[in-house]
Amino acid sequence: MLITLIDRDRNWYLSTQGYDVKQSPREESFCAHAILGDDLLVVPDATLDPRFFDNPSVVADPGVRFYAGATITGPRGMKLGTLCVFDDKPRELSAEDAGSLQDLAGMVEGEIASLTLAVTDELTGLSNRRGFELSAGTLLEVCRRRELMAALVYFDLDDFKEINDSYGHDEGDAALVQFAQHLAATFRNSDIIARYGGDEFLVFLADTGDPTVALNRLEAILTSRNAHPMNRYPMAVSIGSAVFRGDGADTLDSLLNRADHAMYEVKRRHHDQDSAG
């Protein structure tokens, strides 16, 4: 029995019994076919199935003949992978076994949903503090091993208390959601974006030491947003960043502290400018 996750190119085996392979190309994967439909995929004899008879896992080791896979769906309806079983002998799947396989897949979905809730900010849908620390901490170690540069960017919305005081907490929540959407539109899918708490947001970018291009894109988005006559208040942000050089001793905490300090220096300047104005 295998629990698999499928990305654009690979089929990843997260949990295996009786199978030592950790990944395979997506184009060779039975599971990639299984997630195309909503029902259980059952292949009684792969040598007789036009989709699989020449598959490398059929004609060579492990000599798959029988396959059954139930789709695992994430909390937002995205198909993530499968819970599947296979054998080197042809067989049929009984109705009872099919139900058991689907029940087990449902249990895996429940575990994924619980974990997702634990690491997701309920308001914005971004990672929360715990999710960021888990994901960014892991990615930082990957960058360290591969001697890749990385950047951590710290955002703090300016005058957020005034938005709450002037327009109410519902409008304050709407501002947080809108800014989260602007961050998602600005940064890469591979970047880790989080609401760190209150009106503070973080982005961790791997394999780059310069977030300038992305920050310029965010500035253009905010400028366009603030020019729209329907918006009752401007949205401004103080930003600080810290760079990991790829071979340094930085920890996630030290990067956070440096980016936080840089952000507060910017916020202090903003305050001084507003006071002078």
Residue 153 pLDDT > 80, yes or no? yes
Residue 68 pLDDT > 90, yes or no? yes
- Provide the pLDDT for residue 133: 94
- Provide the pLDDT for residue 15: 60
Q: Is 158 among the catalytic positions? A: no
Mean pLDDT across the stretch 137-166?
92
pLDDT band at 197 (very low <50, low <70, confident <90, very high): very high
The most confident of 72-86, 100-114, 136-150, 162-176, by mean pLDDT:
162-176
Q: Which of 121, 156, 158, 199 is catalytic?
A: 199
Q: Which tens digits make up the pLDDT trace of 117-142?
A: 899 999 999 999 999 999 999 889 88
- How much is the pTM? 0.69
Residue 9 pLDDT > 80, yes or no? no
pLDDT band at 276 (very low <50, low <70, confident <90, very high): low
Residue 38 pLDDT > 90, yes or no? no
CA 135 to chain centre: 9
Mean pLDDT across the stretch 188-204?
94
**Is the bond preceding residue 25 a cis peptide, omega within 30 degrees?**
no
Q: Which domains does the chain have, with CATH numbers?
A: 2-118 (3.30.450.40), 129-276 (3.30.70.270)
Mean pLDDT across the stretch 185-210?
93
Mean pLDDT across the stretch 154-163?
95
User: Lowest-pLDDT range, 70-74, 147-151, 168-172, 269-273?
Assistant: 269-273
pLDDT band at 12 (very low <50, low <70, confident <90, very high): confident
pLDDT over 90 percentage in the chain: 62
pLDDT band at 253 (very low <50, low <70, confident <90, very high): very high
pLDDT band at 217 (very low <50, low <70, confident <90, very high): very high
C-beta separation of 177 from 157 below 8 A: no
Mean pLDDT across the stretch 92-117?
90
Q: Which tens digits make up the pLDDT trace of 13-35?
A: 766 565 566 677 788 888 889 88
